[in-house]
Amino acid sequence: MTDLLETLAEIAALKARLRLLGTPRELAHLRNEHILADLLAGATRRVVAMKYGVIYQTVMNVARSHERATGTKIPDPSVLRNESILAALLSGTTKLDVTEQFGVSPATVARISARHRRETGTRLPSSRHRTGLGPRDPERDLAVVHSYLETGRMHETGVLFGLTSERVRQIVLRYERRTGTVIPHTSNRGEKVPRAVLTCPVCGKTKRTTQPEKTSSYCKHCGRANRIPDEKIDAWIARRRAGDSWLQIVMAAGMKINESNRITIAVAARLAFHRRHAELRELWPRGLPPYLAKRVPAALAAFESSVE
C-alpha cells in the first residue's frame, strides 16, 4: 500500500511539473520563437538546426511562416557568403585559399563552383596552387613556347618564367596538339631531335617518339597482342572452330576469366593484320562485338569488306 501511494505521489508531481512547463504545443511554439530570434540575429539555418536539435526543414518552416506573416524575407547569411566565395573564385583565388579565408569545407566550394557551371554554362578560371600565377594566360604559354624554341632547354625556360621543367613540357605538348605542329625536342646530348610520328598498322593510332628505330609502331594494346606467338593464336582459332567458347579457351590457356578480351583482341588483330578476312566472318558470324570493333578498327573494316 505504501509503494502504491509513493507511485501516485510521483505521478502527481510529474504532472505538476509538466503543467509548469506547458503542453508540447506550447513548448514547440516557445522553441520556434527562439529559432526565429536567432535567424533574425543573423545565424545561418544549419547552425540554428544544430543548436536546437531539429531538422533543417523545421528551421525553414519557421522562416517561411514569419515571411508570410510579415511580408519581409529573412536574409540568409549563407547566400551572401556563397556570393562572396563565387566572387573570390572568379577573381582567380585558389579553392584552397577560399576555404581558409571563409572557413568552409572544400566540398562547399566545389558545390558553389558546380552550381555556377550549371547556371552559366561556363567554367571558373583555373588557378595555380604552387606557382601563384592565377588563371591560365595564353600569352604567357606562347612566350614559353617561343623561349623553348630559342633555348632548347626546358629547365632554362622554366627558370625564366618561374616554372618547373615538367610544366614547360606540358605547355609545349598542349601547343603541339592545338596547332598541329611538331616541335623538335632536345636530347640529353644537346642536339635537337625531331619527333617522328608512328602509326599503328592494326588500329591506326598515332604516337610520337624521338627514337623511331627503337620504338615499335604498334600501340600499347596491339603491341601486347602482337607479342603472342602465332602458334598460340592458331591453336585458339582451332579450338573456336571446334565449338569451344572463348571462356573455355581462356580457362584452357591458364589465364584469368577477366582476360578473355585479351584473347579475342589478339585473334582479331592478327587476322586483320594478315588480311585473313574470311576467318573473321567465320569466328564471329553474328558480327564483331562493340568492344572489339572499337579496340581493333582494322578488324571492323576487314569484317565489313568480307560481308560485301
Please give the full DSSP string across 130-160, using - where no structure is assigned.
TT---S--HHHHHHHHHHHHHH--HHHHHHH
pLDDT score of 83: 85
Distance between CA 202 and CA 274 in Å, rounded?
Answer: 10
Q: Do 141 and 175 meet the contact criterion of CB atoms below 8 Å apart?
A: yes
In this predicted model, what pLDDT tens digit does every residue of 144-171 receive, in sequence order?
Answer: 888 888 887 888 888 888 888 888 888 8
Strand spans (E) along 133-253: 185-186, 192-193, 196-199, 206-209
- pLDDT at residue 306 greater than cutoff 60: no
Asked if residue 84 and residue 62 are part of one domain, the reply reads no
| Structural domain harbouring 38 | 2-70
Distance between CA 285 and CA 282 in Å, rounded?
Answer: 6
What's the number of domains the chain is made of?
4
Asked if residue 89 and residue 48 are part of one domain, the reply reads no
pLDDT band at 226 (very low <50, low <70, confident <90, very high): low
Q: Do 279 and 269 meet the contact criterion of CB atoms below 8 Å apart?
A: no
Rounded to two decimals, what is the model's pTM? 0.33
pLDDT band at 193 (very low <50, low <70, confident <90, very high): low
CA distances from 74 to 28, 44, 204, 230 (A): 21, 11, 63, 77
Asked if residue 62 and residue 114 are part of one domain, the reply reads no
Range of lowest pLDDT (139-143, 148-152, 217-221, 302-306): 302-306
Identify whether 133 is part of a domain: no
Identify whether 63 is part of a domain: yes
Q: Do 183 and 176 meet the contact criterion of CB atoms below 8 Å apart?
A: yes
Identify whether 20 is part of a domain: yes
Asked if residue 154 and residue 105 are part of one domain, the reply reads no
Asked if residue 8 and residue 38 are part of one domain, the reply reads yes
pLDDT score of 215: 73
Asked if residue 149 and residue 94 are part of one domain, the reply reads no
pLDDT score of 84: 86
Asked if residue 16 and residue 66 are part of one domain, the reply reads yes
- pLDDT at residue 129 greater than cutoff 50: no
Identify whether 213 is part of a domain: no
In this predicted model, what pLDDT tens digit does every residue of 21-36 receive, in sequence order?
Answer: 555 666 677 778 888 8
Average pLDDT, the chain: 76
Asked if residue 42 and residue 108 are part of one domain, the reply reads no
Identify whether 211 is part of a domain: no
Q: By C-alpha distance, which of 200, 266, 192 is closest to 229?
A: 266
Identify whether 215 is part of a domain: no
Of the residues 54, 70, 86, which one is the last residue of a structural domain? Answer: 70
- pLDDT at residue 131 greater than cutoff 70: no
- pLDDT at residue 134 greater than cutoff 50: no
Range of lowest pLDDT (35-39, 207-211, 295-299): 295-299
Asked if residue 255 and residue 181 are part of one domain, the reply reads no
- pLDDT at residue 82 greater than cutoff 80: yes
Identify the residue with better confidence: 175 or 13.
Answer: 175
Asked if residue 95 and residue 114 are part of one domain, the reply reads yes
Identify whether 201 is part of a domain: no
Asked if residue 88 and residue 56 are part of one domain, the reply reads no
Q: Residue 171 is part of a domain; what is its CATH number?
A: 1.10.10
Identify whether 248 is part of a domain: yes
Asked if residue 14 and residue 61 are part of one domain, the reply reads yes
